[in-house]
Amino acid sequence: MSSKQFKVALVAVAALALGTLAVLAALRAGPSGAQQGSMLNCPQAGKWAIAVWAGDSGATAADALATCGADAVAAAYSLDAETQAWSRWFADKPEVSNLAPLNDKQGVLALGGAAAAAGAEPLAAAQAANQMQNCPAEGKWSIAVWDGPSGAAAADALATCGAEAVAAAYFLDGQTQSWSRWFAGKPDVR
């Protein structure tokens, strides 16, 4: 895989997240569902997931990721939607970690640590605002998060960013580790 393909894969607009994760949330929802002040869609051990902070803006990455459980997250990456610069957080290397405090509904690409729960709670559609959060600027990538009802079509969710605002979106399934994709005007490409 070329570095450009790798970047495209990692710099995912997580717009398809709701469709898959909301179905999982509906299947797994119970009294222990996600609540405000926690990281949603925590990664499984040794697997990547697009995790989302649902809490007060300004939470340190370490505090937010700790809500997944002790030693449940080994690493996390964030993409600044304006500068396109990556920042990182490593559980065992705080001296090289530079991930800024997280904002409510901010997504990060997280790697599950050895203690990650096998049945990590999927992203819940609680407190829906029916729109994408952290939409990408023109010609740029972002880790966007759908904040609306379960089962929304990717095209409908992405349209809340604005008419033709999103050209492409990628989603990483935290359980299967497979990528899904969506391209504007190309519904037959998956």
Per-residue pLDDT of the chain (190 residues; tens, 9 = 90+): 454 443 333 334 333 333 333 323 333 333 333 346 999 989 988 889 999 999 999 999 999 999 999 889 999 999 988 899 999 999 988 899 999 999 999 999 999 887 655 444 444 433 446 778 878 878 888 888 887 888 888 888 888 888 888 889 988 888 888 888 888 888 787 7
**pLDDT value, residue 9:** 37
What residue has token string 């499984």? 44
* Residue entry with tokens 């002790």: 70
What sign for the dihedral angle of Cα 56, 60, 63, 66?
positive
Please give the pLDDT value at position 129.
67
Using left for φ > 0, alpha for ψ between -120 and 50, and beta otherwise, residue 185 falls in left
User: Which residues, 6+ apart, have CB-to-CB distance to 157 below 8 Å?
Assistant: 15, 18, 19, 132, 146, 148
Considering the entire predicted model, what is its pTM?
0.65
Distance CA 84, CA 34 (A): 30
Q: What is the pLDDT of residue 115?
A: 67
pLDDT value at position 32? Answer: 36
- Encoded amino acid at 17, one letter: A
Residue by residue, DSSP assigns 70-89 as TT-EEEEEEE-TTT--EEEE
DSSP code at position 55: S
Average pLDDT, the chain: 76
| Whole-number Å distance between alpha carbons of 7 and 2 | 9
* Per-residue pLDDT tens digits for 7-57: 333 334 333 333 333 323 333 333 333 346 999 989 988 889 999 999 999
Structure tokens at 165: 């605002």
**pLDDT of amino acid 13:** 36
